Amino acid sequence: MPDIRQWFTGLAPRERLLVASAASLTLVAVVVIGVLRPLAASRAAAQAGLEEKRAVLADIERVAARFGPNAGARAAPVQASGESLVVMVDRTTRAGGLGAYLKRNEPDGDSSIRLRFENAPFDEMVRWLAGLQATQGIGVIAASIDPGQDVGRVNANLQLSRGPAPH
């Protein structure tokens, strides 16, 4: 195999210019296609993900402002029924169309309960929680909510409490 430098110097000046230009263009194409395009694509994907997360955060903040701990301070006190939390949750989830999504219903003392919803409609779950707070004085004291299988669906671990939330 002949030496490349020797071959290159053996070319006519015009051919050397043509080969050097082609090599430069090839190098630029490799850098653009192999480095810059993937970087730009990953940046665009990250930006889209960030915008989506900001939209979800704005939704959560709007819901928290409406139904959060300070929202109950403006409302009149509610008289709770004597019904147990387990029975009330079972009855109200069925009435609210959430019974099929409730996968775990575990009492946590006399005035608290832990729930697990899977692939539940988010809007219906929030309406149900707001109704519990407004009509029964039952509030959310802990929540972990993740996206479900479909748009508008969530998997949620909730802890509800009757009366004032523990601090």
pTM (2 d.p.): 0.52
DSSP state of 155: E
Bridge partners (DSSP) listed for residue 116? 104, 157
Instruction: Say whether pLDDT at 158 is over 90.
Output: yes
**pLDDT mean over 117-132:** 92
- Residue 164: its pLDDT value, please? 56
Interatomic CA distance for residues 19 and 144, integer angstroms: 62
Interatomic CA distance for residues 140 and 154, integer angstroms: 16
Where does the pLDDT of residue 136 fall: very low under 50, low under 70, confident under 90, or very high at 90 and above?
Answer: confident
Interatomic CA distance for residues 140 and 85, integer angstroms: 13
**pLDDT mean over 53-81:** 68
- Residue 157: its pLDDT value, please? 95
**pLDDT mean over 104-126:** 92
Interatomic CA distance for residues 129 and 58, integer angstroms: 19
Interatomic CA distance for residues 110 and 138, integer angstroms: 13
Look at phi and psi of residue 111 and say left if phi exceeds 0, alpha if psi is from -120 to 50, else beta: alpha
Question: What single string gives the DSSP state of each residue in 65-134?
Answer: HHHSTTHHHHSPP-PPPSS-HHHHHHHHHHHTT-GGGEEEEEE-SSSEEEEEEEEEEHHHHHHHHHHHHH
DSSP helix/strand/coil, 1: coil
Between 110 and 6, whose confidence is greater? 6
For residue 122 the two structure tokens come to 């988010």
Where does the pLDDT of residue 84 fall: very low under 50, low under 70, confident under 90, or very high at 90 and above?
Answer: confident
Bridge partners (DSSP) listed for residue 107? 113
Amino acid at 10: G
- Residue 167: its pLDDT value, please? 47
Between 135 and 26, whose confidence is greater? 26
